[in-house]
């Protein structure tokens, strides 16, 4: 089905749902999904509406032109997406390949509505997997002396390939602020702990030393502050005193795959709105 999706955030006020629905109905839209959320603490309204383009009267340019006055009246921030336009997704990875393998498999079976033109790694370990799936692989080693230059090359390469979203699938490098700024709101990371607990390096070891009874994984948007971006998805698994660090790592990798794939899917389906270092994830 060929659809369009509108994502809206604005100050909460009367008439928002009626105005948006009436606008779409007037132009022949058959609304397939609509969801909304109000944050009363900050007085904000959020909405996602998706409709079938069959019979809809407005082409994209006309839609943008005619909706703009409504958006201005209600002080809306809004985004329009079409299902026929497939985002381009680049995956960055180091030596742990479980998240990469999961994303490539889900893409192969049609779960992820995107193109994957590029896999980038600071190690060679993922080359065979990339070649198996027919994706270009770029080995770009990084060290303290070359980090700035390599990241500038990476950003240039991503822009040259027309990449829309960057996935850090256990890419064990901290991105510079210039990289993050170039793809602001479009970099998704998976961290192997239930943030904000055990941020930074070696969280499984830290969790083991603390004797926790639950471990988790977190997928979040990347910001300039390490492991502090808006959280998209989290999950946990129970552990016991019998579990060693290796057991935590094994159980945690299953969680990492799950939370990252969910976050990527929701981003590609335009189900996420960011605000105040938080997210609204629409059903």
Residues involved in catalysis: 227
Among residues 129, 164, 167, the alpha carbon closest in space to that of 264 is found at 167
Which phi and psi (to 5°) does residue 99 adopt? -70, -40
Decide if 176 contacts 224 (C-beta within 8 A).
Answer: no
Decide if 137 contacts 121 (C-beta within 8 A).
Answer: yes
Number of CB atoms found within 10 A of residue 109's CB: 7
H or E element at residue 70: helix 60-73
- Collapsed DSSP state (helix, strand, coil) of residue 260: helix
* End-to-end Cα distance, the chain: 18
- The span from the CA of 10 to the CA of 12, in Å, is 6
- Collapsed DSSP state (helix, strand, coil) of residue 13: coil
- The span from the CA of 226 to the CA of 228, in Å, is 5
Among residues 240, 227, 93, 248, the alpha carbon closest in space to that of 169 is found at 93
- The span from the CA of 103 to the CA of 96, in Å, is 13
């Amino acid at each position: 089905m060929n659809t369009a999706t509108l994502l809206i955030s604005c100050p909460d006020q009367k008439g928002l749902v009626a105005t948006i629905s009436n606008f779409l109905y007037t132009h022949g839209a058959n609304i397939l999904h609509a969801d909304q959320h109000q944050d009363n603490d900050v007085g904000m309204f959020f909405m996602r509406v998706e409709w079938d383009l069959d019979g809809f009267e407005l082409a994209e340019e006309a839609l943008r032109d005619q909706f703009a006055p409504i958006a201005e009246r209600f002080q809306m921030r809004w985004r329009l997406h079409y299902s026929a336009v497939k985002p381009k997704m680049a995956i960055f990875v180091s030596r742990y390949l479980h998240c990469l393998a999961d994303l490539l498999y889900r893409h192969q079976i049609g779960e992820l509505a995107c193109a994957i033109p590029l896999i980038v790694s600071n190690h060679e370990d993922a080359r065979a997997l990339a070649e198996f799936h027919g994706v270009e692989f770029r080995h770009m080693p990084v060290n303290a002396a070359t980090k700035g230059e390599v990241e500038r090359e990476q950003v240039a390469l991503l822009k040259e390939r027309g990449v829309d979203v960057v996935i850090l699938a256990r890419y064990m490098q901290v991105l510079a602020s210039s990289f993050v700024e170039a793809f602001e709101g479009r970099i998704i990371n998976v961290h192997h702990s239930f943030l904000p607990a055990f941020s930074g390096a070696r969280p499984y070891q830290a969790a083991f030393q603390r004797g926790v009874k639950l471990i988790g994984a977190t997928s979040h948007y990347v910001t300039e502050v390490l492991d502090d971006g808006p959280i998209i998805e989290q999950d946990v698994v129970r552990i016991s005193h019998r579990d060693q660090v290796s057991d935590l790592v094994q159980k945690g990798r299953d969680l990492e795959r799950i939370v990252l794939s969910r976050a990527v899917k929701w981003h590609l389906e335009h189900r996420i709105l960011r605000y105040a270092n938080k997210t609204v994830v629409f059903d």
